[in-house]
Structures are given as C-alpha cells and as structure tokens.
A and B are shown apart, each in its own frame.
Chain A
Amino acid sequence: MNWRTAVGFASDAASSGVLATSIWRFLYYFIVLSVFLFMFTPVIFVFWVSVFENAVITFPPRGYSLKWFSNAWAAGAFLDGFLTSVKIGLFAMIAGLALGIPASFALVRGRFPGREVLNTFLLSPLIVPGIVAGTAIYIYFIQLELWTGVRMISTLPGFVMAHVALTIPWTVRLVSSTLVGMNKSLEEAAMSLGARPLTTFTRVTLPTIRPGVFAAAIFSFIVSFTDLEMSLFLAGPGRTTLQIAMLQYLEWKFDPTIAAVSVVQILLIGACLLITDRFVKLSRIV
C-alpha cells in the first residue's frame, strides 16, 4: 500500500515537510472514517431509538424496553405490509429467475446480431427512474382494467408484474457475470463423455453457476422488498407493501414503533447480504 500517495489529496509532501504530511494523512483517515460513520448514522439511531422506554423521544432515554417490537407486531398495518412484501418479493424473484436465467444464456453463449442492444435493453429497467416507471405502469394498469375488467392496481399479480421489471435486470446482470467466467470445457468434457444436453445442464452447468443464481435470487428479493417508487402507485386500501406502510407512518410521525419496524428490516436485509457473501463475494458482483 502506498500511503505517501494516499496522504496527498491536497498536499505536496516533498515541499511541505513531515508535519504537513502527517496533517494530510490524519485528514485522509478522518474523512474515510467520517464517511463510513455518516452512512451508518441513520441505522445506528434507528437501533437506539427502537429500544427507548418512552414514546416521546428524549436523549438520553429514561430507560430501555423491547415493547415497541411487540407494539409494531400488534399494529396490523406493518405486519400485513411485511407479509405482502415478502409474497411479492418471492413471486417476483421466481419469475425474474425463470425469465432472466435463459436470457443470460442467450446473451453470453449466443452469437447473434443485436446481442449488445439486447443486453442494454434487458438491463435498461435499472436506469429508468422508479417514479417514471411507476407512473407508466400505473396508467397502463388502469387502462388494462378498463379494457379487460381485470383488476390490476393493488392486487398481488399487479405488484408482482411490476416488480418483475426490477428482478429481470438484476438476474441477467448477476447470472451472466458468472456465466462469462465459467469454463466451457467442463460442459464439453461432459458431452464428449456421453452426457445428454439436459444432463450436462443439470449436472454441470447449473452447479457451476449456482452462486450467481443464488446472488440473483437474493438481490431480486431485496430490490423488490425495498422498492418504494413503483409500489407507491400500486398500493391501495387493503394491499400495501411494508415500505408504503412505513412511508405513510413517517409522513405523520417518527417514534420508537417505526424504529422497531426499521430494525426488523435492517436485520432481515443484513442477513440476506451476509448469506449472499458466503456464496459469492459481494465485492465482485455489485
């Protein structure tokens, strides 16, 4: 590691001496540490407030209690929202894998004209702003309801359909990056030893790309679970996702109950990320 350069974000050590160098070095570490702290500040405070004794927040708190967790559980809106979000996330994840894995094969293995364009197209939902996509899908669903009479807004299939637009690009991105790194001669060896294409796929290909598929599954779930903008348009009375329930609550007030809900979400997503990291190094996929 070359600290001499690391230090020098603004100083020329050669001309300004040892003292200046150590000041800049100190500043460098200080910024790095502060930025990490800054990113974690909201998370830390949510944890802290969730165990405050009193509903009215005072620092330092008068005591600590876990009652807000049972309180959040009892307030039906959050539990309903949580269950809805889990259902949407799982269905959207499965649909995203079913559509995205074959597409990744086509993109990595296929040699056809327009492959690059297709790749951009399948990843493009990631760059369409959520609020614009949400608006478009909302209006589309309402028109579909008018034409067909089938209810779409604030139904589970409606949510899942919209969220598939998020899970397909994540699946394509993560699965095709493992496919690119896969050694094709493994499959060729299996085939030359007499394995049929299907056997080769299930016994050789699938186990090799499993980490990518796993990462795709978990990231799809997380992205669907934490989606706000698209769900915003689709949520209605009777069917709301957890994020929308939290938004509506926070627009009104902040208290230890919503902090407890947040803690549950933090733990869930943290666990998902740690599990993923055991299969594929997060540093290589995001």
Chain B
Amino acid sequence: MGKGGKSRHNVASLAVPATLTVAGILFLPLLMLFRISFNQYDRYDLMIETFTLSNYTEILTDSFYRSVLLRTFEVAVLSTAVTLALAFPVAYFVARAPARWKSLLIILTIFPLFVGNMVRAAGWMAIMGNQGFLNQILLKMGLIGTPIEILYTPSAVFVGIVAVVLPFMILSLQSVIEGIDPNLELAASNLGAGPLMTFRHVILPLALPGVLAGTVLVFILCMNAYAMPVLLGGPRFHVMAPQVYQQITGQSNWPFGGALAFILMMTTLILTFVSTSVIQRQYRP
C-alpha cells in the first residue's frame, strides 16, 4: 500500500473513527464544560444561561478558594522538588545498570505505577493510621506516650503523592540519561574533573530535557492529585481536584465547578505547551 495518491488518502482515513471518538467523547464535553463555566449558578434553577466571568473572579478573589489554589500549588511544588532530587540518583543507577538488571529494575519501577492509587493509599493508611505501624513502633520504643496524628496531616499527603509520582520521574530521567555516552563521563574524569564537576558540567546539562519533561509531568500530576489528598489528607485538607468533584456532584454547582476544573486544566496545558516549546527550541539537534 501507499504508492499512489489515492491509497495515501486511504491510509489517512483509517484515523477518522478514532479521531471522531476522541473528539466526541472528550473534546465536545470539554468545550461544553468550558461554556458552562461562564454560566450563573442559581439555587432553584441550578443554572442560568448567561455569559459572566464571575465564577473565575470568585475563585481568584474568595479567600477560601485562593487558599485552596495556593495549597495545591504548594503541595505540587514541594512534591515535585523532592521527587526530582530522589529520582535522579535512581534514574542514573537504572540507566547505567547492565542490560540484564535493567529490565528488572524497570519492571520494579513500573509496577508501583500501575498497581492503582487505592492500593497504595491503603498501604499508607496501614502505616500512618492512629493504630498504624509507625505509631505502634514509636509507642513501643517509648518515644511517644499516646498515638500522634500522622494520617490526615499535610505530611501524609506529601508522602503519598511523592510515592505516586516517583516512577514517572525516574522513567523520564532514565530514558534521557541512557542516551548520554558514558565515554563523555570518562573523558571528563580523565581530564581531571571530579564526580561533582562531571555531574554539573556533563550529566546535568545533557539530561536537562529529561529533567524538564519529568518535572512538568510530575508537577501536573501533583496539581491534579485526587486520591491521596482525599484518603490521606482527610476531610479538612482542601486541594483543587476534590473541590471540583465536590462542587459538581455535592453542590450541583456546575458553573463554579467547571471554572475550577478549567483553571486546573489551563495550568496543565500552559505548562505543557511552554515546556515542550522550550525543549524543542533549546535542544533540537
């Protein structure tokens, strides 16, 4: 296939059903949600067709929602930074491991990624709960007299989120570090560079596209985290994703929930767009 103009056309048409499906199942609904986010909520009619920016301005001016946004941002920045620091040595280790070990290490990295957030949340609850492993150990060691609150604190959410996003960061970094010729490191050290210098002037600059890609991906995942804040943060820990759910299903306030969802998504899209264009401009060979 694929010689004449006609069959080239035929090949392209194979993508039509999938394209229509993605457009119809995801993009049409997103457009609708976007339109709804400019409507007005009404206690009796639920929604009044209009065009107002009030939902967006309320999110940005109301002190509660401003704090929710800020907290989400805080959690995401902190988790991303720590994840990057922890993932780099691991990614380097995996990338430079002998082939036989590498596939095992990759499976070990991928496995927690696909096992599901509910399973991981359950595991952390076993450790952090009032009757959990950590409290009982501390009690037995006599370090504390009564169980301390670990679960339902911001730290619990932080730990849970970092564990969720670590595999993504490791895989992003690993794939880039793998492409760095080990001879470059040898050359650097032959020329008298110590490990720190080699890392700063050889590995890090070459791994930067991976660092950027991994950081953006992980930051987005942290911003949108739902399960960990709900299960490990408890009912008083408020971040964006659970608020969206709450507004849509709990309050039936579609316009406001829609605006929250779009602020969340715009952050994602802008970041993705900016970072990919930076990567392409800086690092295209």
Contact = CB atoms under 8 A, between A and B. Distances in A.
Q: Do A and B bind each other?
A: yes
Interface of A: 1-2, 4-15, 24, 28, 31-32, 35-36, 38-46, 48-49, 56-59, 99-100, 102-103, 105-107, 109-112, 118, 121-122, 124-125, 127-140, 143, 161-162, 164-165, 168-169, 172, 197, 219, 222-223, 225-226, 228-229, 232-233, 243, 246-247, 250-251, 254, 258-259, 262, 265-266, 269-270, 273-274, 277, 281-283, 286
Contacts of A161: 25
Interface string B181-218: 01001101100111111110001000000000000000
A258 B227 contact: no
A24 B19 CA distance: 52
Contact of A45 (B11, B133, B197): B133
A59 to B, nearest CB: 5
B119 A46 contact: yes
Given A8-B198, A128-B30, A135 B107 contact: no
B90 A143 contact: no
A259 B125 CA distance: 10
Top 3 A-B pairs, shortest CB-CB distance: A8-B195, A42-B123, A12-B194
Given A58-B131, A103-B19, A139 B112 contact: no
Nearest to B127: A45
B22 interface: yes
B25 A266 contact: no
Contacts of B8: 110-112
A247 B248 contact: no
Q: Which of A43, A131, A169 has the most CB of B within 10 A?
A: A131
A269 B269 CA distance: 31
Interface stretch (B53-61, B62-70, B73-81, B254-262): B254-262
A242 B34 CA distance: 30
A11 B195 CA distance: 6
Nearest to A254: B125
B122 A46 contact: yes
A12 B188 CA distance: 13
Given A102-B18, A131-B226, 12 more contacts: A13-B195, A36-B90, A38-B166, A39-B109, A57-B131, A111-B2, A112-B11, A139-B248, A162-B25, A225-B116, A226-B114, A262-B119
Given A57-B131, A131-B261, A246-B122, A106 B14 contact: yes
A23 B126 CA distance: 34
Interface in B223-246: 223-224, 226-227, 230-231, 241, 244-245
B29 A139 contact: yes
A281 B122 contact: no
A103 B119 contact: no
Nearest to A171: B18
Contact of A127 (B110, B131, B268): B268
Interface string B69-111: 0000000000000000011111011001110001100111111
Contacts of B261: 131-132, 135-136
B125 A135 contact: no
5 contacts: A42-B127, A43-B115, A112-B9, A132-B30, A273-B107
B12 interface: yes
Nearest to B92: A6
A21 to B, nearest CB: 8
Contact of B122 (A11, A39, A258, A286): A258
Given A38-B166, A262-B122, A106 B11 contact: yes
Given A39-B166, A105-B14, A243-B118, A129 B194 contact: no
Nearest to A242: B118
B22 A122 contact: yes
Contacts of B117: 226, 228, 243
A254 B126 contact: yes
Nearest to B182: A2
A172 to B, nearest CB: 7
Nearest to A100: B18
Contact of A12 (B9, B195, B241): B195
Given A139-B36, A226-B115, A131 B126 contact: no
A9 B90 CA distance: 11
Contact of B248 (A106, A138, A283): A138
Contacts of A281: 103
A172 B265 CA distance: 23
B197 A262 contact: no
A232 B136 CA distance: 34
A15 B195 CA distance: 10
Q: Which of B12, B96, B264, B269 has the most CB of A within 10 A?
A: B12
Nearest to B34: A136
Given A38-B166, A110-B12, A128-B26, A49 B126 contact: yes
A132 B1 CA distance: 40
Contacts of A8: 194-199
Contacts of B88: 9
B248 A129 contact: no
B1 A109 contact: yes
